Every structure is written in structure tokens, then in C-alpha cells.
Amino acid sequence: MSVGETALVRLENVSKVYQTGTVALQDINLTIRDGELISFVGPSGCGKSTAFRMIAGLAEPSDGRLEVLGMSPEEARTKGTGVAFVFQDATLLPWRSVWDNVVLPLELRGIPKKRQREEALRVLNLVGLADHVKALPRQLSGGMRMRVSIPGHSSQGRNCY
């Protein structure tokens, strides 16, 4: 991705206070540039997931300014910029098979059936689960459930499959 001088992610004095009164983040400043690999490390409950949810446009900061590729996080998520978010826990529909869970986001985006099949097969091969397409989530290990979940979430950012 070539983005010139535009930061991939920029947080300026970002705070997040939940309705419960919990201050999850306070006055955070961070710039992530093209080519950098960043990890958030900290004790449980220190606000890592909160920061990711805001960067992904799934939660609003209470204060401060947050940009992704020079846009609002919501814009960056929906404009096919390749921004993707993998949740901490697998989020699968328990009544849908592995196959049906993987094609769900493609169905929701109105992708033609033939392309849905090609994409689902490709990503299931990629994560080593092509032999488990008929299994229900409860029949998988935790790691396998995450591997089913990752392509689904990544497909929210259009170019990530």
C-alpha cells in the first residue's frame, strides 16, 4: 500500500469513557506509519481491545481525534481500504456450518454465488480447514473456530481475502 506521508493510524489525545464510568483509555497519542508492525501489550483490561475497536470504527472515542489513512475510521472501514479487524474471540453463528459461516459475509455483501464458492474454498484452504466444511462450530477446537472466524472478519475490509 502506498500512502505517501499519510499516517495509517493517528490517535491524538484520545480518551474512552464507557457509559458505566470506566475510563478505558485516557489521552492516548499514537502514530502508525506504513510498513510498521505494532503490537499493543499490557495487562488485562488496560484498553487494548477498546483502542482496536475505535481504530476499526466500531466504537467512538469520548474525546480526541482518531484518523485512519487520513479519514474517519468508519470511512476507512467501508471504503475498501483493506482495513480489517479480527475479534479477540471467535464470533460464529452456532447453527451454521463452517462453510456457511465463511460465506455469510460474502452473501451479505451481495457477491455472486460462484465467486462466493471460489473465495470460501480459497480461504478455507489457506487456514487448513477445507476438510471441515460441514462441521458446526461446537464440533471444532477453539483454534479451529478462530481460523473459521478470521476470514469472515477480514472480509469486512474488502481486499483482505
Ligand X SMILES: Nc1ncnc2c1ncn2[C@@H]1O[C@H](COP(=O)(O)OP(=O)(O)OP(=O)(O)O)[C@@H](O)[C@H]1O
Residue 21 makes CB contacts below 8 A (sequence gap 6+) with: none
Instruction: Compose the 46-85 pattern: x for residues touching ligand X by CB under 6 A, - for all others.
Output: xxxxx-----------------------------------
Is the separation of the CB atoms in 148 and 129 below 8 Å? yes
Least distance in angstroms from the C-beta of 62 to ligand X: 12
CB of 53 to ligand X, least distance (A): 8
Q: Name the residue nearer to Mg ion (CB basis): 1 or 41.
A: 41
Of 15, 49, 78, 91, the one binding Mg ion by CB under 5 A? 49
Distance of CA 38 to the CA centre of its chain: 15
Distance between CA atoms of 8 and 59, rounded to whole angstroms? 18
Q: Is 38 in the site for ligand X (CB under 6 A)?
A: no
Between CA 116 and CA 122 the distance in angstroms is: 10
Q: Which residues are at the interface with ligand X (CB under 6 A)?
A: 18, 20, 22, 24, 42, 44-50, 88
